[in-house]
Structure 1
Amino acid sequence: MRQTKKIVVAVSLALAATGAVAAVATVNGVAIPDNRADFFVKQVTERGQKDSPELRAKVKEELVRNEVLAQEAAKKGLEKNADVKTRLDLARQQVLVGSLINDYVKANPVSEADLKKEYDRIKVNFSGKEYKARHILVADEKTAQDILADLKKGKKFDDIAKEKSIDKNSGQNGGDLGWANPNSFVPEFGNALKELQKGKLSEPVKSQFGWHIIKLDDVRDAKGPSFDEVKPELQRELQGRKVQQYVDDLVKKAKIQ
């Protein structure tokens, strides 16, 4: 009994001397280090899931399963397969590339001044008019003409849109398309919209989608989104440009034969 205890103590001291790390589990004598589990948990919690004993149990189960399968693959000599070697090399390369890009982004964040400068550059595109319109979309001109006649007789636009429009998304809302720039629609629709007066109906308008009866509810000066509303999108776009420039510069400097 004393001899066994001495052996255990000796092994523990040896492990400590070699800097061995704590293991979440051991599979066929191979330790799965705790930091591997911590890495998995970090990835999951960064996506919004809460750290918990249940989560860590699932991570441990997954790590153990992967280790069992990896050991079996090694037994079969799959690491020596040419395609497997290539895939492992590519996977290693992708991890390094991702780490390099993340390192660059942390060291070279987009400044608030750059974001505001970009916003000032694009906000000139927010000028013009926005139109709040409804439409009823049908498959043929005769149906469109019949609907127009019914509308002129006093039937409610909303009711006909809900009943007959083949654009079900807007139809269920009485044909409402919300506020939009005419250029965001197909040309035939957008041009007809710009010609309408507030509260008026269009003649049937043919587009690639079918025949439209359009009603213009309101018009306003376009104001566009605020800086805070577009800031996240600008952040992604400008950061992407910086990364692309960084990559391009590295490729240019490389000696490629």
Structure 2
Amino acid sequence: MLAVMACLPFACGCSGPAALVVNGRPIPSGEFNREVQRRLAVIKKKSPEELEGESGRRLEAETARQVATEMVKAEIMAQQASKLGVEVEPREVAAKLEQQQTKTGADQFAQDLESQGLTLEKYTDTLEQQVLVDDLGEKVTEEVTVTGDETESYFLTHKEQFSKPAAAHVAHILLESEVQAGIVADEIRRGVEFSTMAKNLSKDDATRANGGDMGWIEQGSMEPAFEQVAFTLQPGQSSAVVKTSDGYQVIKVLERREAYSPTFNEVKGEVIKAVESGKKEEKFADWLRTAYANAKVEVVAPGVGKWDPRMGMVVGP
């Protein structure tokens, strides 16, 4: 499913009464109400009983508070981005949109938009907001540095985080028919080159050109039927027919590696990234708390609640 978050346009030229005012900037009631109604419509379509009675009224109120919170935060981010000179590049948004469409498939993507009452334009706005927050995070944390002592100390207290599970370097041939897979397995046992069979017959577009080479897979990352074979065969051996959720496969193990605990020098780059990521997340979280606490927010929409600067959210009236 598509990840959905409320979006606030960065330059609002809309007229009409304000539902929210953030640092003197109004968010129109029409925009606020449309988003609340869109979310309630999605709930009604999936589980209409959730909107019935007293519990339904509470859900409606909570939905309004959630939308108000997200819109306030989005406006605060837009204002902070303007102050810091952070601008979203259209190509960043386009790349994120293409990635999402590719991941879910064009048809499923369109269905997901429809089921959530979203237009492509509206969804693109949500992606733009996500990119803006990411870019702001990079700007705010660009001066974060990591020392050698920090990385060594982190490694000593988080060694299990960097332990390497057993892994196998495997190739496979994916086929739709069990009979055909059986014939392929027999041919390989008779000496036909595995990679040649993969290039000619495999249905896996991602690996066919490379002779079925899937690279290294870690134990626990594939479905049980596949792993049972991949971590039983010895390097150089190929399997009989293996039925998986993808179809019928013939598997060959190229290399094997047992689980092990690496030294600091072996994973130094990973440790540096982990420490840096943690420090950046902490700094950005502190920055966000300050931005929320310092914002002057007025919740004008009746019955929605009020902005709690300490919690960074709209709470009940």
TM-score, normalized by length of structure 2? 0.46
Q: What amino acid maps onto 2:27 in structure 1?
A: T
Runs of 5+ consecutive residues of structure 1 not aligned to the other structure? 1-69
Larger radius of gyration: 1
For residues 22-37 of structure 1, the aligned pairs below 5 Å read none
In 1: Cα distance, 2:163 partner to 2:253 partner: 21
Are residues 122 and 184 of structure 1, via their aligned partners in 2, closer, same or farther at CA, if it must alter by over 3 Å? farther
| Equivalent residue number for residue 220 of structure 1 | 257
Query: C-alpha displacement at 1:244, in angstroms?
Result: 3.3
1:235 aligns with 2:272: no
- Displacement of 1:202 in angstroms is 1.4
Map of 1:1-257 to 2, 5 A cutoff? 78=13, 80-82=15-17, 85-86=26-27, 93-97=76-80, 105=141, 109=144, 111-112=146-147, 113-120=149-156, 121-122=158-159, 125-221=162-258, 226-229=267-270, 231-232=272-273, 234-244=275-285, 247=288, 254=310
Counterpart of 1:131, as a letter, is A
TM superposition shift of 1:137: 0.9
Question: For 1:200 and 1:105, how far apart are their aligned partners in 2?
Answer: 50
Q: Deviations over 1:147-184 (max 9, x none)?
A: 10111121111111011111121111011112231322
| Aligned counterparts of 1:103 and 1:179: Cα–Cα separation in 2 | 35
Task: Indicate the structure whose relative CO is greater, using CA pairs within 8 Å and at least 6 residues apart.
Answer: 2
Cα 1:171–1:86 change in 2 (3 A) is same
Task: Please identify, of 196-205 and 176-185, the stretch whose mean Cα deviation from structure 2 is larger.
Answer: 176-185
Greater helix share, structure number:
1
- Residue range with higher mean Cα deviation, 156-165 or 212-221: 212-221
Task: Go from structure 1 to structure 2 and tell me whether the alpha carbon gap of 1:172 and 1:197 turns closer, same or farther (over 3 Å shift).
Answer: same
- Report how many residues are paired: 181
Letter in 2 for 1:169: A
CA contact (8 A) 1:110 1:239 kept: no
The 1-side partners of 2:268 and 2:284 are apart by 23
Q: Which amino acid aligns with 2:234?
A: Q
Q: Which moved more, 1:220-229 or 1:177-186?
A: 220-229
In structure 2, stretches of 5+ residues that fail to align are 1-10, 19-24, 29-70, 85-135, 294-307
- Give 1:79 deviation, angstroms: 5.9
Looking at structure 2, the residues matched to 167 and 154 of structure 1 have their Cα atoms a distance apart, in angstroms, of 22
| Structure 1 pair 185–117 and aligned structure 2 pair: CA distance change class (3 A) | farther
Report the Cα offset of residue 235 of structure 1. Answer: 2.0
